[in-house]
């Protein structure tokens, strides 16, 4: 009783306003309902933590890709997609701050790992196929869309009316990722030999990352 | 009869009812209590204080849905009582523990204090059997109560700043005031606090005491305006935890009037942390500048040797 009450009290008290760093008050649109018990808070926390870390990682992967592809014909396109990911990350930063969700401890690791993954895989793809291939992008976007889809499913199975705003946000991001994937496919990303291997590697990576992030 | 249970509870109270065994346990204890006491018409003297303390933590739970109340039915059936006039076991425990705080200066943080409190509330001293953790339950209850009070105070201050009735404090000052407010709640029990600290360090109490500590530190930083979503989240909380713990240790052996030395120590520690943060920023900026310089030098070298041209 104590814990559930405390949990609700903490979020009630922080409802509707928060103090930005300069001390001015910012009224925020709440994307989540206040959790009714510890279990729900834990579930939402881990979901948001994974999403936030995912967008952060995607950011770094795009940065890695740009390091390789910035002078090719697909450079501007990758830059555009990267800017979109930056917007997603901003949104998640907001949600995390608003709802007092702990970010993952592994962010510095994600920083390096994402950049390395983006850069190395893109280089490999470029060596195997034409320059400026977007196979890495497509594989990453595919994994992320799958992940968002499964989250949408979880929320819908639980209680769709309760999480309308959050569902909206996730659906929007999911659609963005799918669009990026389709754009990548249009640019013949799949023509890379060993594309399936690349895709599998990235999918396994993402699944392992999600597993770890839900816990740490 | 279970006249003791007829404590007026306003509104619905959401709770997590424990399992059937505890229900049996409680029913047995209360039967024992009702057998051994005479009349219960006079409410216990600390009832109001307890009730308000209990209410402050449960009032927010009143708005919660009634679906959480459903697990109660098994408990209700056993005690045979229905309707609003019942008190849950957790509420009763909270009432006893809050009353026990009065006896801490006399008995220390022990089961004796709980037993003495149970007797003032009209229960038998065997009610201490409800508390599996004994003195640990008492200390953890006190810590939780203090943290809740702190959170309320901080929220109230935040409210005032929002309404423009007060100035927003700078981070260092805010942290100092928050930690001081929290530590001042220990003053009535400062003589026996070392005993409480050692109880909190017992292995089976460590998870709970760490949880309370981390929640409190998170609250303080949240109201100080921290919305970081990177490694800073962790470094700030770790720093504040260190400050709080060391200041607490200084406080228990401080004999200056109104604990002046403790507050001076706190002030210095916070200044240290702020300095460190500034130094870290400077180091990072310098590092970045150095890297830029090196890259510039490398490009110049490539240009000079003609390696930078695309052929």
Residue A106's closest CA among B191, B271, B231, B290?
A: B231
| Confidence at residue B25, expressed as pLDDT on a 0 to 100 scale | 53
Are residues B15 and A4, on separate chains, in Cβ contact within 8 Å?
yes
Question: Has residue A58 got a pLDDT over 60?
Answer: yes
- Which B residues, 226 through 245, put their C-beta within 8 Å of a C-beta on chain A? 227-231, 233-234
- Distance in angstroms (rounded) separating the CA atoms of residues A186 and A182: 6
3-state secondary structure A123-150: HHHHHHCCCCCCHHHHHHHHHHHHHHHH
- CB-CB under 8 Å, A4 with B64: yes
Q: Which of the listed ranges A53-57, B26-30, B203-207 does the model predict with the highest average pLDDT?
A: B203-207
- Which tens digit of pLDDT belongs to each residue from B238-268? 999 999 999 999 999 999 999 999 999 999 9
Q: Which helix (H) or strand (E) holds A112?
A: helix A107-128
Q: How far apart are CA A112 and CA B70, in angstroms?
A: 49
CB-CB neighbors (< 8 A) of B16 in chain A: 1, 3-4, 37
SS3 for A26? strand
Contact B64 A8 (CB under 8 A): yes
H helices of B46-170, in order, are 47-58, 72-79, 89-100, 104-107, 111-120, 135-162
Nearest Cα neighbor of B33 from B133, B132, B129, B111 is B129
Look up residue A147 and give its two tokens: 């992940």
Contacts of B54 in chain A (CB under 8 A): none
**C-alpha–C-alpha distance, residues B104 and B192, integer Å:** 8
Nearest of A147, A154, A151 to residue A202 by alpha carbon: A147
Contact list in B for residue A93 (CB cut-off 8 A) is 227, 229
pLDDT band at B100 (very low <50, low <70, confident <90, very high): very high
Whole-number average pLDDT of chain B: 79
First-to-last CA distance in chain B? 99
For residues A75, A78, A79 and A82, what is the CA-based torsion angle, rounded to 10 degrees?
-160
Q: Which residue of B has its CA nearest to A19?
A: B225
Q: Secondary structure of A45-81 in the HEC alphabet? A: HHHHHHHHHHHHHHHHHHHHHHHHHCCCCCHHHHHHH
A151 with A163: CB under 8 angstroms? no
CA angle A131, A141, A208 (to 5 degrees): 110
Q: What is the CA radius of gyration of chain A?
A: 19
3-state helix, strand, coil split of chain A in percent (to 5) is 75, 0, 25
pLDDT above 50 for B164 = yes
B47, two tokens: 């009832």
Across the interface, do A36 and B65 touch by the CB < 8 Å criterion? yes
- The more confident residue out of B298 and A11 is B298
Main-chain dihedrals φ then ψ at residue A18, nearest 5 degrees = -150, 160
Q: Which residue in this structure is represented by tokens 């990758």?
A: A78
Looking at the complex, report in whole angstroms how far the Cα of residue B66 sits from the nearest Cα belonging to chain A: 11
User: How do residues A110-153 score in pLDDT, each as one tens digit?
Assistant: 889 889 988 888 888 777 776 656 777 888 888 888 889 988 88
ipTM of the complex: 0.77
Residue with tokens 């606090």: B193
Q: Which residue of A has its CA nearest to B211?
A: A3
Distance CA A56, CA A13 (A): 29
B-chain residue closest to A20, CA distance:
B225
> Which residues in A lie closer than 8 A to residue B155 (C-beta atoms)?
13-14
A10 closest CB neighbour out of B68, B219, B230? B219
Find residues 74-113 of chain B whose CB sits inside 8 Å of chain A. 88, 90-91, 94
pLDDT surpasses 60 at B99: yes
Which of B56, B72, B178, B229 to substitute to test the interface with A, most A CBs within 10 Å?
Answer: B229
Bridge partners for A19 per DSSP = A25
Per-residue model confidence (pLDDT) at position B22: 53
Average pLDDT value for residue range B219-248: 92
Cα separation, A179 vs A181, whole angstroms: 5
Q: Do A10 and B65 touch (CB under 8 A)?
A: no
Find the largest Cα–Cα distance for chain B. Answer: 104
Q: What is the DSSP letter of B44?
A: P
Point out the least confidently predicted range of A145-149, B65-69, B177-181, B272-276.
Answer: B65-69
Residue A19 in 3-state DSSP?
strand
Mean pLDDT, residues A158-165:
80
The nearest CA of chain A is from the CA of B14 a distance in Å of 7
Mean pLDDT (whole number) for B162-188: 91
Nearest to B233 among A4, A25, A102 (CB): A102
Segment 264-293 of chain B within 8 Å of chain A by CB: none
Which residues have C-beta within 8 Å of that of residue B192, sequence separation ≥ 6?
B104, B105, B108, B109
Checking if the pLDDT of B71 tops 70, the result is no
CB contact under 8 A, A100 and B233: no
């Amino acid at each position: 009783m104590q814990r559930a009450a405390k949990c609700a009290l903490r979020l009630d008290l922080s409802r509707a306003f928060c103090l930005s760093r300069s001390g001015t008050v910012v009224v925020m649109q709440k994307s989540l309902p206040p959790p009714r018990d510890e279990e729900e808070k834990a579930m939402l926390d881990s979901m948001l933590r994974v999403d936030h870390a995912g967008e952060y990682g995607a950011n770094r992967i795009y940065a890695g890709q740009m390091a390789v592809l910035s002078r090719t014909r697909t450079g501007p396109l990758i830059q555009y997609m990267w800017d979109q990911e930056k917007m997603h990350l901003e949104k998640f930063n907001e949600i995390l701050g608003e709802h007092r969700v702990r970010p993952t401890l592994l962010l510095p690791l994600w920083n390096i790992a994402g950049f390395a993954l983006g850069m190395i895989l893109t280089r490999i793809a470029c060596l195997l196929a034409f320059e400026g291939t977007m196979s890495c992008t497509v594989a990453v976007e595919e994994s992320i869309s799958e992940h968002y889809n499964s989250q949408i499913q979880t929320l819908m199975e639980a209680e769709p009316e309760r999480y309308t705003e959050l569902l909206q946000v996730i659906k929007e991001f999911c659609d963005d990722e799918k669009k990026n994937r389709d754009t990548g496919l249009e640019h013949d990303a799949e023509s890379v030999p060993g594309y399936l291997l690349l895709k599998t590697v990235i999918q396994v990576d993402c699944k392992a990352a999600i597993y770890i992030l839900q816990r740490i | 009869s279970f006249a003791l249970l007829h404590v007026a509870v306003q509104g619905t109270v959401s709770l997590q009812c424990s399992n059937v065994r505890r229900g049996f346990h409680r029913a047995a204890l209360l039967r024992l209590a009702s057998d051994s006491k005479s009349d219960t018409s006079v409410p216990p003297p600390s009832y109001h204080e307890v009730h308000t303390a209990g209410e402050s933590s449960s009032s927010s739970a009143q708005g919660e849905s009634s679906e959480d109340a459903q697990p109660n039915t098994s408990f209700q059936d056993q005690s045979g009582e229905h309707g609003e006039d019942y008190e849950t076991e957790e509420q009763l425990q909270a009432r006893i523990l809050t009353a026990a705080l009065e006896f801490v200066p006399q008995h220390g943080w022990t089961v004796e204090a709980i037993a003495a409190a149970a007797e003032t509330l009209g229960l038998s001293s065997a009610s201490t059997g409800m508390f599996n953790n004994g003195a640990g339950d008492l200390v953890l209850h006190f810590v939780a109560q203090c943290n809740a009070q702190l959170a309320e105070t901080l929220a109230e201050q935040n409210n005032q700043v929002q309404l423009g009735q007060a100035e927003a404090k700078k981070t260092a000052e805010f942290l100092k005031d928050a930690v001081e407010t929290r530590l001042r709640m220990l003053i009535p029990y400062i003589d026996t606090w070392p005993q409480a600290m050692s109880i909190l360090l017992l292995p089976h109490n460590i998870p709970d005491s760490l949880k309370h500590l981390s929640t409190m530190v998170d609250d303080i930083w949240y109201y100080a305006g921290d919305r970081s979503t990177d490694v800073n989240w962790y470094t700030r909380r770790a720093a504040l935890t260190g400050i709080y713990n060391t200041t607490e240790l200084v406080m228990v052996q401080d004999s200056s009037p109104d604990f002046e030395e403790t507050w001076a120590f706190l002030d210095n520690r916070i200044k240290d942390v702020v300095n460190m943060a500034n130094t870290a920023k400077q180091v990072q900026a310098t590092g970045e500048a150095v890297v830029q310089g090196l890259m510039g030098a490398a490009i110049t070298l490539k240009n000079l040797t003609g390696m930078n041209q695309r052929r």
